[in-house]
Amino acid sequence: EPEVTQTPSHQVTQMGQEVILRCVPISNHLYFYWYRQILGQKVEFLVSFYNNEISEKSEIFDDQFSVERPDGSNFTLKIRSTKLEDSAMYFCASRVGQGATGAYEQYFGPGTRLTVT
Amino acid sequence: GDSVTQMEGPVTLSEEAFLTINCTYTATGYPSLFWYVQYPGEGLQLLLKATKADDKGSNKGFEATYRKETTSFHLEKGSVQVSDSAVYFCALSPARGSQGNLIFGKGTKLSVKP
């Protein structure tokens, strides 16, 4: 069964460093997402990506964040200068479906735990 | 803005007990509603969904009914098993103006004892 994969499973970085979190969505999916979950808090939407551009982003997704689909298979989230409060579990998700309905299932990866020290 | 509120955990039950996890939402119009489950060390998996009022989603013995009048989507199972131990998330996808992004509740951890 196809699945979304994420690497690394755990990333430790120092404050101020850049990190890139990687995701490989399911191959025939068209919509891609990043979410994050700070320990003990809700899973929060960060950004959605469709047709090689950002289609929607939350208030959390400020200028320190960027996303890219560099080669047609990988989907990356970059944090340019990490802060302590960026420590969280980051989930990638993808879905197949045309249009902007919310009824299609999103398939989630296992997450990358980012620890900023 | 749109939001989801679900009951605080953790919830500990004995095997074969009845499970209810409450979920209520605030949203404009008619959002789609979902329950996701996260087993230890794994990603979020869709458990069930409902896309319009009075729809009942069901899967693996779990059920939830989309109640517009009470803005609720409570998760139920008649007889839980040890293998149901996981974290359960209620979520919604806004009715319009979104690309399908999900808004989640905080999650409820369920532990089932043999």
Q: Tell me which residue of A7, A38, A19, A10 sits closest to A81, measured CA to CA.
A: A19
User: Quick check: B98 and A100 CB within 8 A?
Assistant: yes
Q: Region of A86 please: left (phi>0), alpha (psi -120 to 50) or beta.
A: alpha
Which chain A residues touch B27 with a CB distance below 8 Å?
A: none
pLDDT value of residue B65: 98
User: Quick check: A102 and B95 CB within 8 A?
Assistant: yes
A61–chain B Cβ distance below 8 A for any pair: no
- For the stretch A1-53, pLDDT in tens is 778 999 999 999 999 999 999 999 998 888 999 999 998 788 999 999 998 99
Q: Which residue of B has its CA nearest to A110?
A: B43
Is residue A8 reached through a cis peptide bond, with omega within 30 degrees of 0 on the bond before it? yes
Q: Is the pLDDT of residue B100 over 80?
A: no
pLDDT value of residue A100: 45
Q: Is the pLDDT of residue A115 over 70?
A: yes
Q: Report which of residues A98 and B17 the model is more confident about.
A: B17
Q: Region of B61 please: left (phi>0), alpha (psi -120 to 50) or beta.
A: left
User: Quick check: A108 and B36 CB within 8 A?
Assistant: yes
B95–chain A Cβ distance below 8 A for any pair: yes
Q: How many Cα neighbours within 13 Å face the side chain of A96? A: 7
| Residue A81 near residue A17, CB atoms below 8 Å | yes
Q: Is the pLDDT of residue A101 over 60?
A: no
B57–chain A Cβ distance below 8 A for any pair: no
pLDDT value of residue B52: 87
A45–chain B Cβ distance below 8 A for any pair: yes
A39–chain B Cβ distance below 8 A for any pair: no
Determine which helix (DSSP H) or strand (DSSP E) holds B21, and give its type and residue range: strand B19-21
User: Quick check: B104 and A93 CB within 8 A?
Assistant: no
Range scoring the smallest mean pLDDT among A14-18, B68-72, B100-104: B100-104
Reduced to 3 states, what is the DSSP secondary structure of residue B92?
strand
